[in-house]
Amino acid sequence: MSVLIAPSLLSADFLNLGNDIEMINTSEADWFHLDVMDGLFVPNISFGFPIIEKVKSLAQKPLDVHLMIIDPDRYIDRFRKTGADMISVHYESCTHLHRTVYAIRSSGAKAGVVLNPHSPVHLLTDIIPDIDFVLLMSVNPGFGGQRFIEQTIHKVNQLKEMILSINAQVLIEVDGGVDLENAPRLRHAGTDILVAGNTIFASTDPKETIRRLKKC
């Protein structure tokens, strides 16, 4: 399987969001990545249900909704109804992670678990068989444009070994500071999905940048 590319709308031009959505629709990108922040779990606030509904009305590709919020269980059904095809929650924010994952899958969405940079992959040992993907943060969550944390490469290797050891069908997604230099290394380590924001939207040719990421 070729690597999946999920442009992060957090880095899009919100005064011209429709144009950026259409660019992604007509590019080689696979998913839209949407970061939902509550100002509590992370020190920033982003978009919520009204924006996601508008994106869904224009998007021709699946919505990958990353919940950087406390108590995500309260909103899973609503995010699904709003248009989320994939919903990921942070290990660090869930008191009863299996319950949360089952709620996501019961809603009809694919379920992902996110690890912050300081969280080791062995924390996922008991949840791996029950999820569809793991999202490894390669920056501290909350803001776009941060510098890639190199230790992420090692974490991808570790996670890939864990997944293969139990023959699980779980994809590995990486988000934060992904660019044309580290994308091939992430892919070689076992990454299946690359989230890229600044690298794509600050490019003079976003479609070409997506194409090059896709070919890494």
Residues whose CB is less than 8 angstroms from the CB of residue 31 and which lie 6 or more positions away in sequence, other chains included: 4, 5, 6, 61, 62, 63, 64, 85, 86, 193
Rounded to whole angstroms, the Cα distance separating 92 from 87 reads 15
Q: What is the pLDDT of residue 161?
A: 98
Q: Tell me, what's the pLDDT at 141?
A: 82
- The number of folded domains in the chain is 1
CB 196 within 8 A of CB 179: yes
At which residue do the structure tokens 């194409």 appear? 211
CA–CA separation, 91 and 96 (whole Å): 9
- Report the pLDDT value the prediction gives residue 142, as an integer from 0 to 100: 74
Length of the chain as a residue count: 216
User: What element of type H or E holds 111?
Assistant: strand 110-115
Q: Which domain holds residue 188?
A: 4-214
> Token pair of 87, please?
């919903």
Whether the CB-CB separation of 146 and 140 falls below 8 Å is answered with yes
Q: Residue 58: its pLDDT value, please?
A: 98
The pLDDT of residue 1 is: 74
Q: Which of 110, 111, 132, 134 is nearest to 124 (CA)?
A: 134
pLDDT of residue 148: 94
* C-alpha span between 55 and 21 (Å, rounded): 7
The reply to whether the predicted model has a pTM over 0.75 is: yes
Can you tell me which residue has the tokens 């660090």?
92
Query: Which value, in Å, is the radius of gyration of the alpha carbons in the chain?
Result: 16
Per-residue pLDDT of the chain (216 residues; tens, 9 = 90+): 789 999 999 999 999 999 999 999 999 999 999 999 999 999 999 999 999 999 999 999 999 999 999 999 999 999 999 999 999 999 999 999 999 999 999 999 999 999 999 999 999 999 999 999 999 999 998 776 678 999 999 999 999 999 999 999 999 999 999 999 999 999 999 999 999 999 999 999 999 999 999 999
Q: What is the pLDDT of residue 133?
A: 98
pLDDT at 166: 95
Q: Point out the residues that are catalytic.
A: 35, 175
The enclosing domain of 100 has a CATH number of 3.20.20.70
Q: Which amino acid is at 215?
A: K
Q: How far apart are the C-alpha atoms of 88 and 82, rounded to whole Å?
A: 15
